[in-house]
Amino acid sequence: MAASCIAKHGPPKCRVSSVLNRDVKQFGKKYMFDDNEETCWNSDQGSPQWILLEFQSAVELQELQIQFQGGFVGKECWIEGSTTDANDLHKICDIHPKDDNSLQSFDIPGGHTAKFMRLTFASSTDFYGRITIYKLDVIETQR
């Protein structure tokens, strides 16, 4: 059985690499978790971009769900995790998003447990390296 970490525990602590024009009121990280299809996190230009999540406690990662804005989608992406701290991240898997607006799901193989998870976008489909995300969720395995 699986469940949304966000629905179960609320939004995790989150850090991002950048926010477009530092305008957190309009494009801040909190908008990835607010279930409003009209709000989003928008990174500033440049690569790489990343999102670092800190869960309340370690979770068994099963799936990543993410909705980009087409044209501002991450390429060469991977997930890293750690059970101890954000400075001890280890690569878990690569993901390959499609350049569209759909909600995309990516299985996280191997039953990895993490308290910290970083999603890195080495490049973007946008010429300037910007990333736009409307929804981000992590599905955990329930025991």
Using the predicted structure, report yes or no on whether residue 37 has a pLDDT greater than 70: yes
CB contact at 8 A, 125 and 75? yes
Q: What is the pLDDT of residues 42-91, one digit of tens each?
A: 999 999 999 999 999 999 999 999 999 999 999 999 999 999 999 999 99
Question: pLDDT at position 142, please?
Answer: 76
Give the closest residue to 124 by CA, choosing from 107, 102, 105, 99. Answer: 99
Read off the CATH number of the domain in which 122 is found: 2.60.120.260
CA distances to 88, 111, 135, 140 from 30, rounded to whole Å, are 25, 27, 10, 20
Lowest mean pLDDT among 49-53, 86-90, 109-113, 119-123: 109-113
Question: pLDDT at position 141, please?
Answer: 87
Q: CA–CA separation, 35 vs 116, rounded Å? A: 22
CB contact at 8 A, 117 and 81? yes
Range of the structural domain that residue 21 is part of: 2-141
Question: pLDDT at position 101, please?
Answer: 97
115 token code pair:
């308290």
Question: pLDDT at position 43, please?
Answer: 98
Domain count, the chain: 1
Question: pLDDT at position 10, please?
Answer: 84
